Amino acid sequence: MGAGIAQVAAAAGHKVKLLDNRPGAAAQAIDGICAQFEKMAAKGKLSPEAAKAAGQRLQAVAQLAELADADLVIEAIVENLAVKQQLFKELEAVVSECCILASNTSSISITAIGAALTSPQRLAGLHFFNPAPLMALVEVVSGLATHHDVAATLLATATAWGKTPVHAKSTPGFIVNRVARPYYAEALRVLTEGGADCATLDACCREAGGFRMGPFELMDMIGHDVNFAVTQSVWRAFFNDPRFLPSLTQQDLVDAGFLGKKSGRGFYSYQEGAQKPQPATAPALDRPNDIVVYGQSAAAQALATRLHTRGVSFTQAAALGDTLIRAGAATLRVTDGRSATRCAYDTQTPNTVLLDLALDYAQATRLAVSVAAQCDPTAADHAIALLQAAGFAVSQLQDIPGLIVMRTVAMLANEAFDAVNQGVCDGAAVDTAMCLGVNYPCGPLAWAHAVGINTLSTVLTHLAQTYGEDRYRTSPLMQHHVYSAKAFV
């Protein structure tokens, strides 16, 4: 990470000194950076002259004293509070009073690091994402003592380096590592409850949710030791808040040494010759003749268009409560956080089949469904066949409340609302951070507005009723938007 940050700064025209406590490591890093500049020149991304000049701005140094003329020092060492505090104390004695000190920490409190300094107002977080030369996002993090001019200077610097900075208050996980927790947590819970296998849940998140990687693929790539440690850190820092509760399933992987790609095994096997399992997909079924699409919701319009494009006959009718489609004997609804069985009971509609959320029902290639326990098997087949006729691969999950994409998006949005409510960042920052930092297809707040804040609030309420856990409590800010929207209707 340190080498990546140095590459960014040197490419932007700065003289950069690299210091590492391992003999020869800084010089080795410079060799690697220069090789990267040469590759960029070979691809036409830099002129040969610019690549050479950027490499010449890099200098390996061996002692802290050689950093005395620095205007900005960025620390990217081990994630250990005491070690960071000691380094910054030593730096304070070396650099000038106007030098800004920055930590690339992803999880340690900037306030806590600064508590050991004589001048904590000059310390801020400057959190790059890996690989630093490629990832656009930088979190600029203010501790309790950080001067606003220091944060402003770092925001301007990151922008000048071609990055997209967002400003955050120093709270556990900052923006990205906090708001992203539900992406892993909800998938782990659904897996643990037997909702579906990893490959099916990953496929639904990619093909319906629009995420670049499924949660289990992503955890395997990150490494379970790292991912589990971050979850534990955030959970403990929030005084064991159940929203961030670590998973026993993931702990078992860590205890077993199944850390993901780097160990050759995680949720998936990465041994030579290993075949990745395929998602569970319903076999092709004969579609029913009687199909009615209700209302003008985004899902209804998208499904009607898909059916029409494929030459499937159907009729359209005015909205009928939350009924989306009737296909033969089946009634299809989009999940609202209840199980299909409870929904069938509440609505006195035994042949209920629930659809999962899709980022875009017009473009999605797969949908997850759940079937009520009361549902006749023929009606379930009618529902699945209808979706197949609309061009979806269909994965039937066990009757898990909220399915997978809907409950995940609801929790991501809820956490984003809570981060804004607690003054960690503003709404624009949280959406920018999640799109650029972890490649989400849509910012969680923008997604909430697209789906409907009322809808997601209802999903959370039903999840909370099902599980009886504070984990699914609705953010006060989300509640405010729900009630204010109702007041203005």
Catalytic residue, candidates 106, 109, 457, 475: 106
Average pLDDT along the chain: 96
What distance in Å separates the CA atoms of residue 37 and residue 56, rounded to the nearest whole number?
11
pLDDT of residue 486: 53
Neighbours of 317 (CB within 10 A): 13
The CATH number for 291-396, chosen from 3.30.750.190, 3.40.50.300, 3.40.50.720, 1.20.59.10, is 3.30.750.190
User: Are 2-175 and 178-263 equal in CATH topology?
Assistant: no
Predicted TM-score of the model (pTM): 0.95
Instruction: For residues 218-245, give the mean pLDDT.
Output: 95
Tens digits of residue pLDDT in 313-335: 999 999 999 999 999 999 999 99
Q: Tokens in use for 198? A: 């990893």
Catalytic residue, candidates 127, 167, 382, 481: 127
pLDDT above 50: residue 294: yes
pLDDT of residue 487: 42
Residue 382 a catalytic site member: no
The CATH number for 406-488, chosen from 3.30.365.10, 1.10.1040.50, 1.10.260.40, 3.30.70.380, is 1.10.1040.50
Query: Residue length, the chain?
Result: 489
Instruction: For residues 468-476, give the mean pLDDT.
Output: 97
Catalytic residue, candidates 14, 75, 104, 139: 139
pLDDT above 70: residue 208: yes
Q: CATH number of the domain at 2-175, please?
A: 3.40.50.720
Q: What does the domain layout of the chain look like in residue ranges?
A: 2-175, 178-263, 291-396, 406-488
Catalytic residue, candidates 177, 247, 395, 457: 177
> Cβ(216)–Cβ(202) under 8 Å?
yes
Nearest to 1 by CA among 106, 71, 143: 106
Residue 127 a catalytic site member: yes
Q: Tokens in use for 47? A: 């002129």
Residue 313 a catalytic site member: no
- Tell me which fold the domain 178-263 belongs to: N-(1-d-carboxylethyl)-l-norvaline Dehydrogenase; domain 2 (1.10.1040)
Tens digits of residue pLDDT in 89-127: 999 999 999 999 999 999 899 999 999 999 999 999 999
Residue 139 a catalytic site member: yes
